Amino acid sequence: MTTMNLEAEKSAVKSVLDRYITSVENADIDSYAKNVVHDQDMVNFGTDASECIVGWAALREVMQAQNAALSGTKITQRDVTINVSPEGRFAWATSLWDFKATMGGQAIELPVRCTWILEKREAEWELVHFHKSVGMTG
């Protein structure tokens, strides 16, 4: 049985979250695709009440539509907490985003609460689920 380096695993998970943000900011669907699993039965929840996104194909469509609709996206992530299961196969994290972008010429700012679940597949951490919701301001 190998001993897991907890801090190294947490750092690797944080890197996935950071790469996810960078791919969203850059509207780079290819980079985005490298951070999430491509399972047909994965389920993710976006910030809109109707956003129950099932499967990689649907998630890809949602992200492509978001990339087309938004410009100048900037995400500031804070209050990141990361936990890793004792055997090192699963991780879960939470973070808060200050999300800014332009849509239809209008600046938008959203306080987004994020929950992430990752699985280690073939020695790499990948997102298997996320849930995002818009928090209250002020």
Res 40 pLDDT > 80:
yes
Tell me the per-residue pLDDT of 106-133, one tens digit each, with 9 for 90 and over. Answer: 999 999 999 999 999 999 999 999 999 9
* Residue 89 belongs to a domain: yes
Contact call for residues 75 and 90 (beta carbons, < 8 A): no
Tell me the per-residue pLDDT of 75-100, one tens digit each, with 9 for 90 and over. Answer: 999 999 999 999 999 999 999 999 99
* Residue 10 belongs to a domain: yes
Specify the number of domains making up the chain. Answer: 1
- Main-chain dihedrals φ then ψ at residue 81, nearest 5 degrees: -120, 135
> What pLDDT is stored for residue 51 in this prediction?
86
Close Cβ partners of 52 (under 8 Å, ≥ 6 residues apart)? 43, 45
Q: Specify the CATH number for the domain of residue 95.
A: 3.10.450.50
* Residue 1 belongs to a domain: no
* Residue 28 belongs to a domain: yes
Res 137 pLDDT > 80:
no
Supply the range of the domain harboring residue 33.
6-134
* Residue 43 belongs to a domain: yes
Res 2 pLDDT > 80:
no
**The pTM of the whole model exceeds 0.85:** yes
